[in-house]
Structure 1
């Protein structure tokens, strides 16, 4: 019975949308030839953005009641213009200005103003105030989801893991597309069953994925079918989405949300993001006992491509085996990519 709000990127404060009576779902790119969107976008736009816009132009997202788009990369920013003026819908479209210098003290005031503006605009649109108690309840629901997802990922720290990478990432993706209260109950039941059982999987080489965006299981499946396990990921639809909690809230919830979204695991669109991304990747490789790292970066995703050589060098110097793959979100994992993955897995198996 809740209205549905689409959102781009994990810098959107979903808790405010939930407190306003909306169910947030993440916009995804889908698969197939992009035709309609190419009339509006230049050729050097990433396939993720092109796929998302193409689906919107084809009517896939006509069911949305609201849409919130943050200032992340320039292309996602352009989605706001195209969605608002070319598609002329849904009835509520809002743009959140996220500072690039997320770790700068001045960013706190900017982000605080943006979240207050989002809250006010939602109140005007829905005709109902968003109470602090509703925000606090939303934070508890979302922090519960984040904690549960971390427990799901913990199931792969053992060797062999208790669940496959496909199972874990399917759960992570479902968190982006499900009402969080229902999601929490389902994952609690899943964990109650799986945490108490020994692993039935065989020992295999262990891989961490670092990706710009993944919104299906194709890549994980292509890695696991030849004989490896995907034990963790550093992706905006994976660990970067849920790794950091809001935490305990006293009084006004807005400052707590500001802290969380500015200090979360950063996207490379943010100034100063390289060091925390490197630290997180090293943590995943070490704690999840990874034998190799696969970078899957969409063509034309300049922010990720800019940081890749440094991350590659640091990980390789620490002894990790690296595979770089150029991705196309609308095509998926093609035969050439599958062959390169198979060769990499064979190297890890030696």
Structure 2
């Protein structure tokens, strides 16, 4: 069995993990496991997703010896520093070795150059851990992941939000899952068509709550959108530089335009902006998003200060 490497955040180039011959495992939290030691180490003001992931790492829930953590948001960065210090100060805790993937997103050549250096360093580190990562292996891995993303995008209109989340939760859709008959022919799903924006989700709890209440989640803008490009490490650096627009680093106007276009493309009848506790970004984005959506005839509602894995479902909008 190939070794398993955990990762946290949207900026980790899973293609390089595949090229190194390891299995990428996205580390997720558990809404029932917040507070406790994780909150003691990270503080009460951190996104509870990061707190929960740290709790699960402390409990050895994941079969990993190493974790790549991206600098996609403040919570991810604090998780990295906590893991690094805990390994230094409490080696008996047996935590996996963390490695920071520091991809930046400014639209400058200097940013591209910086990202290329960081991803070349990551390639070298993976090579030291698991053996040389060849150019051919990188190209093959990029092609594989691009095809998986294409398959998921192609299947998305045929799926409920819960189904789509389940297929994408651990990474791109494996072609064997598609061709093996696990996906049924196109099905008509009932419910008011909604688009989900705001805080990202690493568990399906909010999707389940919305669809149980009579909504149908037809789209979201949490997943990174990699632009097309080449298949070298340097190409990946530039693709991940522009894998947005994400709430943590994109201008508000760009986020609003992206949300409106994506919601309209999937035929959404309502946009729900979900804001988790300790995540203030969605409330800053929402006024511009609401205005952009109004221009294309789609209403929007903000649901803020929500507990991890829960949502106060908007009443009277699902009929």
Report how far residue 144 of structure 1 moved: 1.0
Pick closer, same or farther for the CA change 1:74–1:333 going to 2, 3 Å. closer
Partner of 1:304: 282
* Count of aligned positions: 313
DSSP-derived class of the 1:216 partner:
coil
2:35·2:52 contact (CA, 8 Å) conserved in 1? yes
Report how far residue 30 of structure 1 moved: 0.9
Partner of 1:120: 124
Structure 2 unaligned segments of length 5 or more: list them. none
Report how far residue 13 of structure 1 moved: 0.8
1:146·1:244 contact (CA, 8 Å) conserved in 2? no
2:26·2:170 contact (CA, 8 Å) conserved in 1? no
1:201 aligns with 2:192: no
241, 265, 279: which one aligns with 1:287: 265
1:270-295 C-alpha deviation (Å, 9 max, x unpaired) = 2x443443232122221222110001
1:244 aligns with 2:226: yes
Q: Give the TM-score taking structure 2 as reference length.
A: 0.89
Partner of 1:93: 98
Report how far residue 214 of structure 1 moved: 1.0
Structure 1 unaligned segments of length 5 or more: list them. 156-161
Report how far residue 90 of structure 1 moved: 5.1
1:246·1:257 contact (CA, 8 Å) conserved in 2? no
2:227·2:242 contact (CA, 8 Å) conserved in 1? no
CA distance in 2, matches of 1:192, 1:210: 26
Partner of 2:180: 189
CA distance in 1, matches of 2:306, 2:25: 22
DSSP-derived class of the 1:170 partner:
helix
Pick closer, same or farther for the CA change 1:268–1:163 going to 2, 3 Å. closer
1:8·1:69 contact (CA, 8 Å) conserved in 2? yes
Pick closer, same or farther for the CA change 1:298–1:131 going to 2, 3 Å. same
Partner of 2:203: 216
Q: Give the TM-score taking structure 1 as reference length.
A: 0.82
Report which structure shows greater RCO (CA 8 Å, sep ≥6). Answer: 1
Partner of 1:225: 212
Report how far residue 136 of structure 1 moved: 0.7
Partner of 1:149: 152
2:69·2:99 contact (CA, 8 Å) conserved in 1? yes
1:104-128 C-alpha deviation (Å, 9 max, x unpaired) = 22111000000001111121222x2
CA distance in 2, matches of 1:100, 1:299: 25
1:7·1:24 contact (CA, 8 Å) conserved in 2? yes
CA distance in 1, matches of 2:80, 2:126: 17
Pick closer, same or farther for the CA change 1:70–1:200 going to 2, 3 Å. closer
Partner of 1:82: 82
1:69 aligns with 2:69: yes
